[in-house]
Chain A
């Protein structure tokens, strides 16, 4: 059974005008089915406003479905009795690094989750140490978060989630506010967690380069899942992605254009080396 299971998930909210009168109903998530297995790395792609963040917030029981169900490790998110258990099992990292760090010192922030869970002091220290080491931020444990770069701050946020010993981590556009180097740092840390610690990863992003390493890519538009498959399948449909306000890496785009010009190339080329190899054959 999957660690995250959503079936026929619908989320609606009421739009209001300036006087607070209801103007209409917006369906942000529309009949989404999702089944994520333990240890899987799933990427969710979509343009701004496609419903991907709203979906993510359901898994951590921040939002509740209007219709349908979300099960995390077999527990219904709407069941009040399990809410804290669900939040511990499905940790969440948000977009803005400044707005999710609570501690004034790196190690204190990482300890925040375990403190809330009532973990004994000695074990908190052990968890903080292993989590900071897992994201390569251990040497910064005594620093103030304000002095860190964006990528470092996000790695601290990830450590803060790992310290709660979750079964899966949902990252809601963790790189949107970072520079290219910060983005690489964060993605590297996320991949390591998935490969070494076998943590289930749900990565939400609109950067295509970041989903290349995912086991599975889900593309959302207008609250629905419109494409699903391994990265190579998804990337082979360049025109469709463009239609969905998305982009492909330059190398994939180049391969696509060359193909249109009649050069025979395989579908969904993802890396520079692949293209060079294919062209030389």
Chain B
């Protein structure tokens, strides 16, 4: 059970003078149950990449396999694929359209041809998973706050019961608390169901905090693909492609330069704190 990208390339406006590589010879394996962070500056190909995962875009070169089958071979059920690989676009609340929240979340499962009962069960479950308050189930989605709308939109995808959940900047435009709430929900969901999560984000701090593998895209190619510590150790290369490491990594570097004997590979607040306390000889003794 995995998604495999085998030498995938994608050229926009192929056969015209404006042809441009959006993806260039990308090889990746996304096994079950990982929490993956996908980073890259705007235009690096991450959005194009995620749209390949559920077959919205077809590669102009290479193959994509889902559970061993080429998703673009004849007779492959794309609808089934889209229910298994759930994709939450940026600002997903812009797709809400139904008269009330619950009906909107039912849209996905209904399209899969499920029974009314199963559809409603799933919608209910999905709204619970995103922590949406039951009191507002029959409200118009357009009357909700930005953060609540976002939850409804994510529930709309979760209701399809995907094995892989891809989120393109799920926290864009939210305030700090709203951002943490959404990410904590996703992390909890991952714990609870063992679903694979691919998180596209511009916040290195968020990425470092949640994921166990980072894929860095640059100019349509994979630049790094490793555990967070290993990726952020390349912070100078990351800077050269318009990215950065989490702020704590820089703090550790600065301390090291000033002569404090700390390891510089901390990527989260907790790690940094532990490491500084240790170096200062204050680790809880």
Contact B247 A250 (CB under 8 A): yes
Nearest CB of chain B from residue A187's CB, rounded to whole Å: 15
Contact B273 A276 (CB under 8 A): no
Q: Which chain B residues numbered 164 to 221 have a C-beta less than 8 Å away from chain A?
A: 172-178, 180, 202-203, 205
Contact A250 B273 (CB under 8 A): no
Contacting residues, chain A, for B282 (C-beta < 8 A): 261-263
Contacting residues, chain A, for B173 (C-beta < 8 A): 176-177
Which stretch from A108-116, A227-235, A252-260 is at the chain B interface? A252-260
B contact residues, total (Cβ < 8 Å): 38
Which stretch from A2-10, A58-66, A178-186 is at the chain B interface? A178-186
Contact B247 A249 (CB under 8 A): yes
Q: Which chain B residues numbered 15 to 58 have a C-beta less than 8 Å away from chain A?
A: 41-43
Q: Which chain A residues numbered 163 to 203 have a C-beta less than 8 Å away from chain B?
A: 176-177, 179-182
Residue in B closest to A18 when the chains form the complex, CB atoms: B140
Inter-chain CB contacts under 8 Å: number: 93
Contact A257 B269 (CB under 8 A): yes
Kindly state whether residue A47 has any CB partner on chain B within 8 Å.
yes
Kindly state whether residue A216 has any CB partner on chain B within 8 Å.
no
Which of B178, B250, B254, B258 is within 8 Å of A48, CB to CB?
A: B178
Residue in A closest to B178 when the chains form the complex, CB atoms: A48
Nearest CB of chain A from residue B258's CB, rounded to whole Å: 5
Contact A180 B276 (CB under 8 A): no
Give the CA-CA distance A280 to B41 in the complex, in Å: 35
Q: Which chain A residues numbered 24 to 82 have a C-beta less than 8 Å away from chain B?
A: 47-49
Q: Which of B203, B254, B273 has the most CB of A within 10 A?
A: B254
Nearest CB of chain B from residue A277's CB, rounded to whole Å: 7
Which of A18, A208, A272 is within 8 Å of B251, CB to CB?
A: A272
Nearest CB of chain A from residue B37's CB, rounded to whole Å: 15
Kindly state whether residue A245 has any CB partner on chain B within 8 Å.
yes
Contact B254 A272 (CB under 8 A): yes
Kindly state whether residue A246 has any CB partner on chain B within 8 Å.
yes
Contacting residues, chain B, for A257 (C-beta < 8 A): 269, 273
Residue in B closest to A206 when the chains form the complex, CB atoms: B175
Kindly state whether residue A107 has any CB partner on chain B within 8 Å.
no
Nearest CB of chain A from residue B112's CB, rounded to whole Å: 30
Q: A179-B42, A276-B254, A280-B259 are in contact. Are A246 and B280 (CB under 8 A)?
A: no
Q: Could you show 9 A-B contacts with beta carbons less than 8 Å apart?
A: A48-B175, A177-B173, A249-B247, A250-B247, A250-B269, A251-B248, A272-B247, A272-B254, A276-B255
